[in-house]
Structure 1
Amino acid sequence: MPGSDAARSRGPALAGGRRAWWLPFLLLALLALPVGAAPPPVVVVADPESAHQQAFIQGLQNRLEDRREGRAALERRSPAELDRIDPASLVIAVGERAGAAVAEQRSGDWRLYGLVSWGAAREWLQGDPRAAARVVEQPPRRVVALLVDILPEARRVGLLLGPSSRHYGRRLRSALEEAGREPAVRQVEDEAGVEARVEELFTESQALIVPADPLVINRRTAVPLIQGAYLRGVPLLGPGRSSVRAGALMALHTDPAELGREAAGDVYAALTGSAPAGHRHPRAFRVVVNYGVARALGLAVPPEGELYRQLQEGRP
């Protein structure tokens, strides 16, 4: 057509023949838009020699990979390498040694403490809105519900507490009172006092709860404490599966790997802009019963699966 070559040579035009003079400026503006900001580094601080801590980290990493959160490649540091952490990092401190070091320095922009006690988490989270914790202890009402399900006639319940379990023990005491039980509490400040305090509880209590506390129950104290309860016919609710293997009647247990998988939800939330705060107890758990001890104590204890379903229905 006549004039068509000339029209094309004038470049892009709008309907009506006006030249689209603004297109080059639009392209420049689009090129100037920022590309999505790189996600912050995710740094795990842990003891490489601890099997429990490594299981937690593996569970965390597996769950992040399941979410296809490719941005969450984990950098690993020891507690002695905190000076190498980028201030913009999301820092996951696994275990109480790493937690204490990270809390002291306020490493990173957001901190998650995992595989730690409720007492330690309570201390580290005070005054730190950019921190959260995944604690090892079970919710107090869940613990008391298990005891009531297995020992409905036990009214007087002993609590043996140490420095790390003192604050958690207060919540256990409240849960026992809510359930109509009479808690007898003994607090120890050093390992030498464990034997005397537990002897008092054996005479005063129809059942005994011993939360996790490295001063109260450790390699030196666990066997005499657990065997003493067995010999005196006092059912013992221990702090985890290993205590049941050693002779405690029962426990609630969450594997370190499962705690790591639950912690991945917090990390994912922090990566997507809604960093959580506060502490959380385990959601997943297992009921563990030593049926040999139950028979020796003359107790008819329901199957673990049935006890688990009862606790799930009550959702303490």
Structure 2
Amino acid sequence: MRLPVTAFLRRALAALCLCCVALPAAHAVQQVVLVLSERGGVYEEFADAFEATLAGPGEAPRTRRVAASATAPEATLAGSDLIVAVGVQALRDAVGWPTPLPVLGALVPQLAFERLAAEVGRRRPPASLSAIWLDQPPLRLLRLFRQILPESRRAGVVLGPDSAAQLAALKAAAAQARIELAVETVAAESEVMPALARLLPTVDGLLAVPDGVVYRRDTVRGILLTTYRHRKPVIAFSQSYVNAGAAAAVFSTPALSALQAAELVRALPPGRAVQLPPPQHSAYPAVAINRQVARSLGLDPPADALALKAVERATENER
């Protein structure tokens, strides 16, 4: 028996709907080129975590790894939808390649990204260049400061040419955390220790923020020794500082940065050219505490998990 045309159309439409439900949604990105500043180390750690996260439920975009190079790997770029540049050198090389592919930077400091974006200028539309910054928002640093020094009233910070632009954000975060902020500003490495000598007698501890003049290989040891002699803890921005003698730090690991990058890629809407969101801070902070240093300074820091919860609350406030 032949079905009436209307009944046939209804059944065909129902079958088509079922097929649409059964098929997984296509990703906007089908292939990603991972450009690594160096082989091994934190860059490979990022790449491994990125690929593992990207592989999870549904059809996963493909990835291809290449080393940073001033010469574009044309064969690798062919058929790709997005470049993820891991590290400053990889980002610098990738934005210089003659390709319209959008570029997402990872494991890059905010200042380095902003300088590079300014250099690129109008050669790239804004939605084709973005990054997940290594830097932590000031409020996270101040929340951790409060966890290490719950009775503290005054925090000190030494700013240099790179970090001076963060002063307004630091003051706003300090007001939100109800901590008074004392600031010393320097223009050269030779001014760092005198500034620290003026600052430390007036504060409960020191906030370390990334700056190429203040915190460099030649100054870090002296800063940590001086603050320790003054019995003032340092709240820093990397695990390596905690290993060297800072009381605590809030930072992002390569694996956490990779998780955020992979989530960003999977969330890009399908069906149109890839448009990246604006640059952003890390969404997943980590905390490290040097308990030996803290105890020697007469401090009783909370468990890492509790300190991390306080920092994560600051993260929620930023959204």
Aligned to 1:176: 174
- The one-letter code of the counterpart of 1:308 is L
- The one-letter code of the counterpart of 2:127 is P
TM-superposed CA distance for 1:63, in Å, is: 0.9
Counterpart pick for 2:143 among 138, 142, 145: 145
Query: What do the CA deviations read for 1:213-269 (whole angstroms, capped 9, x no partner)?
Result: 344323322211111111111111011111111111111132112211211122223
Unaligned runs of 5+ in 2: 5-25
Aligned to 1:30: none
Unaligned runs of 5+ in 1: 1-12, 16-35
Match status 1:42 vs 2:36: no
| C-alpha spacing 1:76/1:296, structure 2 compared with 1 (3 Å) | same
Aligned to 1:90: 82
| C-alpha spacing 1:173/1:37, structure 2 compared with 1 (3 Å) | closer
User: Which moves more between the two structures, 107-116 or 95-104?
Assistant: 95-104
Aligned to 1:55: 45
- 8 Å CA contact retained: 1:161, 1:185: yes
Counterpart pick for 2:233 among 228, 235, 239: 235
Alpha-carbon distance in 1 for matches of 2:40, 2:159:
25
TM-superposed CA distance for 1:87, in Å, is: 9.6
| C-alpha spacing 1:38/1:99, structure 2 compared with 1 (3 Å) | closer
Alpha-carbon distance in 2 for matches of 1:159, 1:38:
43
- The one-letter code of the counterpart of 2:310 is Q
Alpha-carbon distance in 1 for matches of 2:179, 2:100:
44
Alpha-carbon distance in 2 for matches of 1:195, 1:105:
42
User: Which moves more between the two structures, 236-245 or 95-104?
Assistant: 95-104
SS at match of 1:100: helix
Question: Percent of aligned pairs with the same residue?
Answer: 26
Match status 1:203 vs 2:201: yes
Q: Which runs of 4+ in 1 moved over 6 A?
A: none
Aligned to 2:107: 115
Aligned to 2:290: 290
Greater relative CO (CA pairs within 8 A, separation 6+): 2
- The one-letter code of the counterpart of 1:52 is V
Larger Rg: 1
SS at match of 2:84: strand
SS at match of 2:55: helix
TM-score by length of 2: 0.77
| C-alpha spacing 1:90/1:153, structure 2 compared with 1 (3 Å) | same
Alpha-carbon distance in 2 for matches of 1:38, 1:75:
19
Alpha-carbon distance in 2 for matches of 1:169, 1:111:
29
- 8 Å CA contact retained: 2:136, 2:237: no
User: Which moves more between the two structures, 82-91 or 298-307?
Assistant: 82-91
SS at match of 1:281: coil
- How many pairs are equivalent? 285
- 8 Å CA contact retained: 1:42, 1:72: yes
CA RMSD of aligned residues (A): 3.1
| C-alpha spacing 1:68/1:119, structure 2 compared with 1 (3 Å) | same
Query: What do the CA deviations read for 1:194-228 (whole angstroms, capped 9, x no partner)?
Result: 32332232233221111233443233222111111
- 8 Å CA contact retained: 2:36, 2:65: no
SS at match of 2:287: strand
| C-alpha spacing 1:216/1:86, structure 2 compared with 1 (3 Å) | farther
TM-superposed CA distance for 1:106, in Å, is: 7.5
- 8 Å CA contact retained: 2:27, 2:266: no
Q: How is 1:1-316 mapped onto 2 (pairs within 5 angstroms)?
A: 41-49=31-39, 51-82=41-72, 84=74, 85-86=77-78, 89-104=81-96, 107-125=99-117, 128-270=126-268, 272=270, 273=272, 275-313=275-313, 315-316=316-317
TM-superposed CA distance for 1:300, in Å, is: 2.1
| C-alpha spacing 1:204/1:39, structure 2 compared with 1 (3 Å) | closer
- The one-letter code of the counterpart of 2:265 is V
| C-alpha spacing 1:114/1:313, structure 2 compared with 1 (3 Å) | closer
- 8 Å CA contact retained: 2:130, 2:278: yes
Alpha-carbon distance in 2 for matches of 1:106, 1:182:
49
SS at match of 2:33: strand
- 8 Å CA contact retained: 2:249, 2:287: yes
- The one-letter code of the counterpart of 2:185 is Q
TM-superposed CA distance for 1:112, in Å, is: 0.5
Alpha-carbon distance in 1 for matches of 2:46, 2:162:
21
Query: What do the CA deviations read for 1:87-106 (whole angstroms, capped 9, x no partner)?
Result: 96411111122223334558
Aligned to 2:11: none
Alpha-carbon distance in 2 for matches of 1:100, 1:210:
26
| C-alpha spacing 1:96/1:148, structure 2 compared with 1 (3 Å) | same
